Amino acid sequence: MNGTSFIGFTRGSETSDTFTAFDPTTGNAVEPLFHSATLDELETTARLADAARIPYGDLPGKTRAKFLRSIADNIEALGDTLIERATLETSLPNARFIGERARTCGQLRMFADLLDEGSWVEARIDHAIPDRQPLPKPDVRSMYRPLGPVAVFCASNFPLAYSVAGGDTASALAAGCPVIAIAHTAHPGTAELVGSAVAKAVADHNMPEGTFSLIFSKGYELGQALVAHRAIKAVGFTGSRRGGRALMDIAARRDDPIPVYAEMSSVNPTFLLPNAIAKRGDALAAGLHASVTGGVGQFCTKPGLVFLPSKADSGSFLSDLRSHISNTGAAPLLTEGIRKSYETASEGRRPEVEDFTENTAADLTGFAVRPSIFETSAATFLEKPELNDEIFGPTTLLINADSKEELLEIARGLEGQLTASIHGDEEDLVEYADLIAILETKAGRLIFNGFSTGVEVCPSMVHGGPYPATSDSRSTAVGSRAITRFARLVCFQNFPDAALPDELKEANPLGIWRMIDSEFVR
């Protein structure tokens, strides 16, 4: 580990603009020093990515698939070194990273499989009709082609699965786009290790220089400059609403605005309907507690708003939940910044709503915080829109609603969400059909009798949602559909077969699914 950026095939210089990771358990700095890239180095990465755009984008899908598999193999080959470093930089348990590594490598291999199969390009062919009246019909063929170089911002809360070789990088590389990753300052050592795994795959597979770079940056300037750079054609980001919006605004002000896929802010409203509470209040209390405190509450899908029927109908649910939370020890958040935000936001909430917690965990060293639960009425919630704001960390807000009408009014006023969850039985689903119709306009994923944390990586997953959940509600950051975020449709009219991409050649040499003259065939 030498703490310098990966500028194409070379390493960045050691600069005076340095930073370190911290051990969240103690708050102490952790070696080594990391060196912010210079603006010249950033310019070089952009120039190299631009130069790699056509040669990398024109590689056959199966070649890119081998490259992605090789990245996964190299990450696994890092062995315990990677797991230990990630644990050191985050204080999240080893087991979490063994799981997150499996997910990260699984994602890379899922996209490799997608490329091997090949149909993701959505090839369409309409054959010519030269004698059509009044005008001949031309031969028209189209498919997804790569969008161009992508800037990927690593996420604080997923040091592997949404960082250097995480979902955004995997889907961008799969689509045929060079990637410039910007390491998160909370886990630069993890980033460097994964960066070395990607760089080795680039070298072993003779990928063009500029296919991958990794930038260390202490502040925001380099990332912002990259989003404004004309070589960059799309942005992937997972982080705060403020950070994501800042990048959206920079991208929108460019001479040529580019798409930003920012996954930002979601309070994941969770509705505990009457029959659910009545029938299995104890299981709901245990499940909610696990969902709110898992990963120390640092998942974008953490349930941040929980709606209950009137208190009288809640049985022992509330006392069960209070007991779970009170018995949960303090745990460190990822960074001092996140800890401060958690404490400040919690303090700001206390005069507004009742602190329902009786947690007195004493060990608040490092970046540790206590879990908490707030409680209020629907009427108060409707009066105070700021209660919709996300608090990143192990806390949630319970809202007691006295009527279905209150719930509908609240649902109509919700911002965009990654998820909305409904706990009930089939009778509740009928009774609350209008609530579900509203939630469908608000969220990317609707969950029945489950909690929102835990995102299955599969072809049908949608991890997206209207603003501010994401910057682009049409897309998903998880699952195989994520690849089309980094692709654009290109159409070839009257091209000779030999000059067409393989996906569009008449004989279908890749054996992919295509829409030919309006019919799906393979």
Region of 95 on the Ramachandran plot (φ > 0 left; ψ -120 to 50 alpha; else beta): alpha
Print burial letters for 141-161: b (CB count within 10 Å at least 16), e (below 16): bbbbbbbbbbbbbbbbbbbbb
Q: Which of these is catalytic: 154, 192, 300, 390?
A: 300
Q: Are 35 and 42 in contact (CB under 8 A)?
A: no
263 carries an active-site annotation? yes
Given the complex with a second copy, which of 363 and 434 has the nearer CB atom? 434
Given the complex with a second copy, which of 146 and 304 has the nearer CB atom? 146
Given the complex with a second copy, which of 20 and 301 has the nearer CB atom? 301
Q: Are 33 and 101 in contact (CB under 8 A)?
A: no
Closest by CA to 95, choosing from 264, 295, 281, is: 295
What the block records as the tokens of 270 is: 């969770």
Closest by CA to 331, choosing from 77, 93, 49, is: 93
Given the complex with a second copy, which of 79 and 257 has the nearer CB atom? 257
Residue entry with tokens 């809202």 = 399
Closest by CA to 215, choosing from 457, 518, 3, is: 3
458 carries an active-site annotation? no
Q: Which of these is catalytic: 89, 100, 263, 503?
A: 263
Given the complex with a second copy, which of 194 and 407 has the nearer CB atom? 407
Closest by CA to 435, choosing from 457, 464, 404, is: 404
Given the complex with a second copy, which of 209 and 415 has the nearer CB atom? 415
CB of 379 to a second copy, least distance (A): 23
CB of 131 to a second copy, least distance (A): 15
Q: Are 445 and 463 in contact (CB under 8 A)?
A: yes
Residue 97, CA distances (Å) to 17, 80, 101, 196, 478 in order = 30, 10, 6, 18, 18
Given the complex with a second copy, which of 189 and 259 has the nearer CB atom? 259
CB of 429 to a second copy, least distance (A): 5
Given the complex with a second copy, which of 360 and 518 has the nearer CB atom? 518
CB of 420 to a second copy, least distance (A): 10
3-class SS at 355? strand
d(CA 407, CA 400): 9
CB of 311 to a second copy, least distance (A): 28
d(CA 3, CA 191): 10
What the block records as the tokens of 253 is: 């002000």
Q: Phi and psi dihedrals of 509, rounded to 5?
A: -60, -25
Region of 204 on the Ramachandran plot (φ > 0 left; ψ -120 to 50 alpha; else beta): alpha
What the block records as the tokens of 343 is: 């404490």
CB of 481 to a second copy, least distance (A): 7
Q: Are 19 and 188 in contact (CB under 8 A)?
A: yes
What the block records as the tokens of 192 is: 């460097």
CB of 41 to a second copy, least distance (A): 24
CB of 213 to a second copy, least distance (A): 20
d(CA 305, CA 396): 6
Annotated catalytic sites, by residue?
263, 300
